[in-house]
Amino acid sequence: MDILDRYIFRTFIKTFLGTLILLVGVAVIVKILDSLKDFTENKHGVGLLIEYYATVTPSFITYIVPPALMFSIAFTISNFNRNFEITVMLAAGRPFSRILRPILIFSIILAGGFFLLNEYVAFPASYKAVDISYKLRNRGEDARLRKTDKSSNLTLRFENRYYTIGLGAWYDSDLIGFHLLELWPNGSIQRIIDAEKAHVEDNESHSWHLTHVRISNFTDQGGYQNTESYDALQETLPENLKSFQNFYVEMDSEERSIFDSFRLFKKRKEVGGEYGVFLTEVFWHAGYPLVCFFIVFIGGMVGGRLKRANAATSIAVSMLFTLGYFFLMYFGTAFGESGSLHPFIAGNFANFAAAGIAGWIYFRMDY
Query: Is 130 found in the same domain as 12?
Result: yes
pLDDT value of position 96: 78
Domain boundary among 227, 245, 263: 245
- 129 and 22 in a single domain? The answer is yes
Percent of the chain with pLDDT strictly greater than 90 = 32
34 in any annotated domain? yes
Residue 197 shares a structural domain with residue 80: no
Q: Total structural domains in the chain?
A: 2
Indicate the residue among 202, 220, 245 that finishes a domain.
Answer: 245
Question: 83 lies in a domain?
Answer: yes
Residue 48 has pLDDT above 50, yes or no: yes
Distance CA 258, CA 181 (A): 33
Residue 180 in domain: yes
Asked if residue 151 is part of any domain, the answer here is no
Give CA torsion, residues 140, 144, 146, 147, to 10 deg: 110
In a domain, 305, yes or no: yes
Q: pLDDT (tens digit, 9 = 90+) per residue, 158-185?
A: 888 898 887 655 556 788 889 999 999 8
Q: Could you tell me if 284 and 348 lie in one domain?
A: yes
**Is residue 28, in this structure, part of any structural domain at all?**
yes
pLDDT of residue 149: 46
Give the residue ranges of DSSP H helices in 271-310. 276-287, 291-305
Give the tens place of pLDDT for each residue, 248-282: 666 778 888 999 999 888 877 776 667 888 899 99
Picking from 220, 245, 270, the residue at the C-terminal end of a domain is: 245
User: Within this chain, do residues 135 and 178 fall inside the same structural domain, yes or no?
Assistant: no
Answer yes or no: do 29 and 100 share one domain. Answer: yes
At 68-91, the pLDDT tens digits run 998 888 888 888 888 888 888 888
74 contacts: CB under 8 Å, gap ≥ 6: 299, 300, 302, 303, 306, 309, 313, 314, 317, 318
Of the listed ranges 101-105, 142-146, 177-181, the least confidently predicted one is 142-146
Q: Is 262 part of a structural domain of the chain? A: no
Per the CB < 8 A criterion, the answer to whether 275 and 286 are in contact is: no
Q: Is 223 left (phi over 0), alpha (psi -120 to 50) or beta?
A: beta
Same domain, 127 and 81: yes
Q: Do 9 and 121 fall within a single domain?
A: yes
Dihedral of alpha carbons 300, 305, 307, 311, sign: negative
If you average pLDDT over residues 21-25, what whole number do you get? 92
Residue 261 lies in a domain: no
Based on the fold, state whether residues 135 and 284 are members of the same structural domain: yes
Task: Examine the domain organization and report whether 102 and 200 are in the same domain.
Answer: no
Residues forming a β-bridge with 70: none
The 10 Å Cβ neighbour count of residue 334 is: 15
pLDDT digits (tens, 9 = 90+) for 323-367: 888 899 888 888 887 778 899 999 999 999 988 888 887 776 555
Mean local confidence (pLDDT), 21-48: 83
Per-residue pLDDT tens digits for 216-246:
999 988 889 999 999 999 999 988 888 877 7
Same domain, 135 and 201: no
What does the pLDDT read at residue 345? 92
| Owning domain of residue 218 | 171-245
Please indicate, yes or no, whether the overall pTM of this predicted structure exceeds 0.85.
Answer: no
Q: Is 174 helix (H, G, I), strand (E, B) or coil?
A: strand
The reported pLDDT for the residue numbered 214 is 95
Residues 234 and 298 in one domain: no
